[in-house]
Structure 1
Amino acid sequence: MSLPELAWQIVYGRAAWAIVLAALIVALWPRAWQLARARLAAIAACAALPQMLPGEASPAFWLGLVFQWPSALLVRLSALKLHCAWQGRPATKVMPAPLAALVALAGVALYLDAIGLLSQGFFYAGFGPRGAPLLALLLAVLCSAAIVRGHARPQAAAVLAALLLFAVLRLPTGNLWDTLLDPFLWAWALLSLAARFRHRSTRAASTTADAAQASPVVF
């Protein structure tokens, strides 16, 4: 088991929380992609500067105590949202269905294991010297293939970047699962799946109603 230096974890944690909080503000801001770049930069600065305060004065200190560090995947996806806003392009708040399904399933397995309902040691396997690197390599190959074929390139690139950070610096904690999953990312995935299910249900109901209205009534 190889763990990153504590100093690197602190630097990562502060930068990660700054990016995630800035992306959250932008996501909640109405029509953020229409804001001037100066305002977007001001939002990013307001999210980042408090994290740089020393010790307990930094919000990142307390966020780290409660939530640990954001996963590298969440940070990369948050940076992607900020980039879309910076380019003046609206970014969907819903996670793509395949990625949301994978994150949701992984989260369910890990959290059930953590509370003892499965007791398979899934989380601790993320520290493993063989299984974790092999899984990371497999995911990296799959993401590279998706990028080459043009399938969900932004999301595949985000996963690949998270895996590279894990492989090179072992951030954020040295555990593969902490690189790819955290409570915020899991909640985002679940909400995205719920939103997509609701949208499909509403669309199906609307289609059924339209078909009923269009059908001729025979007496």
Structure 2
Amino acid sequence: MNHLMQIFALVELSITCAVVMILLLQKTSSQELSLTTKVMLILLLGNLFFWPLGLGMELPLVAYVRGVIGDLSIVTMLLLWTSLLSGRKPTPFAFKVSIACIAIVFYPLALGIGMIDPYAWGYGSVLFFIAVLLFAVVCGLANWSKGVWIIAIAILAWAAHWHESANLWDYLLDPFLAIWALIAVFGALYRRRRDKARSGYLFRPG
């Protein structure tokens, strides 16, 4: 069973690595790739990451990637996959702000700063589980259905022990998701401040 979990984890990360490479490719291109092209590239690049290619490496490339970054959360993985397959529809800014705020509070406390350890809540705290469900409800009320089913799949994966971790936090949040949210929030605030400054300069008397 553990061996099967390892294979599933490598398959997931192989697909995710392929998705990241295609997203970076699209960033340099003004033309949107067709869905067929994206799927073909995912299959090609995913196989390159998953199967051992020799070149002095005893393990597949994805095994080395996993050794460095570990397993991504289900939320991060699904956000990446859907952002590629559903086009360039942006993730709601409110979601990014929420993740950034949670990360700012969570990581210092989880690392031992303070008397509270929120990471321990992920091992079956009913209140924490209810809070996650309420967050999904808020996503639904905000008309972001993708957020609802992403959180739902993360909860189901945790309940089924899909990854090695038994902590719900590891299915919902990881450092890469936190960094992405923080960069997005601070970048948006910077652009808003810059645009406001430019607007004030343009309409300044004289």
Task: Say yes or no: TM over 0.5.
Answer: yes
Among 21, 24, 41, the alignment partner of 1:28 is: 24
Using the alignment, how far apart are the partners of 1:130 and 1:199 within structure 2? Answer: 40
Residues 35 and 85, structure 2, Cα contact 8 Å, conserved in 1: no
Give 2:162's aligned residue.
Answer: 171
| Root mean square deviation of aligned Cα | 2.7
Q: Can you give the 5+ residue segments of structure 1 that lack an aligned partner in the other structure? A: none
Decide whether aligned partners of structure 1 residues 106 and 6 sit closer, same or farther in structure 2, where only a CA change above 3 A counts.
Answer: farther
- The size of the alignment, in residue pairs, is 199
Give the number of the structure with larger relative contact order, counting CA–CA contacts within 8 Å between residues 6 or more apart.
Answer: 1
Structure 1 window deviating more from structure 2 (22-31 vs 33-42): it is 33-42
Is 1:210 aligned to residue 206 of structure 2?
A: no
Give 1:67's aligned residue.
Answer: 69
Is 1:137 aligned to residue 133 of structure 2?
A: yes
**Normalising to structure 1: TM-score of the pair?**
0.76
Structure 1 window deviating more from structure 2 (115-124 vs 71-80): it is 115-124
Using the alignment, how far apart are the partners of 1:8 and 1:67 within structure 2? Answer: 20
Decide whether aligned partners of structure 1 residues 112 and 97 sit closer, same or farther in structure 2, where only a CA change above 3 A counts.
Answer: same
**Normalising to structure 2: TM-score of the pair?**
0.80
* Deviations, residues 48-75 of structure 1 (Å, cap 9, x unaligned): 1134336951233223332221100011
Give 2:120's aligned residue.
Answer: 124
Q: Can you give the 5+ residue segments of structure 2 that lack an aligned partner in the other structure? A: none
Residues 14 and 50, structure 2, Cα contact 8 Å, conserved in 1: no
Decide whether aligned partners of structure 1 residues 12 and 191 sit closer, same or farther in structure 2, where only a CA change above 3 A counts.
Answer: farther
Give 1:107's aligned residue.
Answer: 103
Residues 100 and 193, structure 1, Cα contact 8 Å, conserved in 2: yes
Decide whether aligned partners of structure 1 residues 119 and 59 sit closer, same or farther in structure 2, where only a CA change above 3 A counts.
Answer: farther
* Deviations, residues 79-128 of structure 1 (Å, cap 9, x unaligned): 111212xxxx4344xx4321112212222223212332124121122113
